[in-house]
Structure 1
Amino acid sequence: MGPLVAMLSALVLTDIGVTVSRIKRNGAMWLLASLFFLTAYIFALVAGAIYLSAFYTPLTATIILAVISLVLGLIIIGIMYALNARDRRIAADKRRRSQAQTSLVIATALTLFRKQPLLAAGLAVGLGAALGLMRKPGNDRERS
């Protein structure tokens, strides 16, 4: 049993090492891309301010850009709030379903346990396995 455990642990550590290095590489690339996106955003703001200052005073043009940025930020915060509320509702619904399934298994097992203990144990295990297999594979994520 020892060599099998050593081989499996080496396989797991290798997969984890590859995953960690991939995550580090992707993180560095996202950081670099974010830097360039931020630079482009700053230059777009400067260009917008120069363009608007042709029609308004420079102070008014800057205030217009600030208000637009503030409104966009508030819209994004509102979207994030709505998505988080939806995720909480989905997680609560999953918990309720899981508790209902567990209660059904326990009630079935207790009812049968009084009459036929071996049949009850087998049925409870089978029902638990069936309920576990009926779960959809993409529904494991509760929160992002």
Structure 2
Amino acid sequence: MSEVFARTHTQKEDRLWVDKRSEDVNEVQSPPPPPIDEDEVWARIAGGHKRGRIYGMGVVPSHKYPHVFADPDDDDTASSPPDLREQVTLFNRKISQQAEAHAQRVAAVEAVCAKKTKSQEISDLKKAYSDIYSFLTQMGSSGSSSAAMPDMPPHRPPA
């Protein structure tokens, strides 16, 4: 652009500026644009990076080409570090959710174990009752006096 401006705002004969404004603009030229990064252009055309890969380039290490992995819409990403407080908050939320899910699983397992334990206790009591009843029945039929043996209810198998 500066070359076009110079050709259109200078006189052909002596190459002097046509006016003061043209001369001032020429002195205060903007800095040259940054060089074009062909890798970045390719990455954008190819659809960006996905899982550390760029279409047509294969696996591309992000530390080797940080400019390719930078978000083109966010100019602050390269200059500012990530918000660590936000990351810590997110991690704490995840940990809390996982701890709650774990506590629910533990409670469910404990409930099943308690149910089995009560069921086992009931089974053990039924067996003990049956053993005692059998023992007392044998004692009564072995000739001991009926006065010493209280009347026993008829044996009914536990339900």
- Measured against the shorter chain, the TM-score band is 0.3 to 0.5
Say which structure, 1 or 2, has more relative contact order (CA 8 Å, 6+ apart). Answer: 1
TM-score (norm 1): 0.39
| Greater percentage in helix | 1
Higher-Rg member (1/2): 2
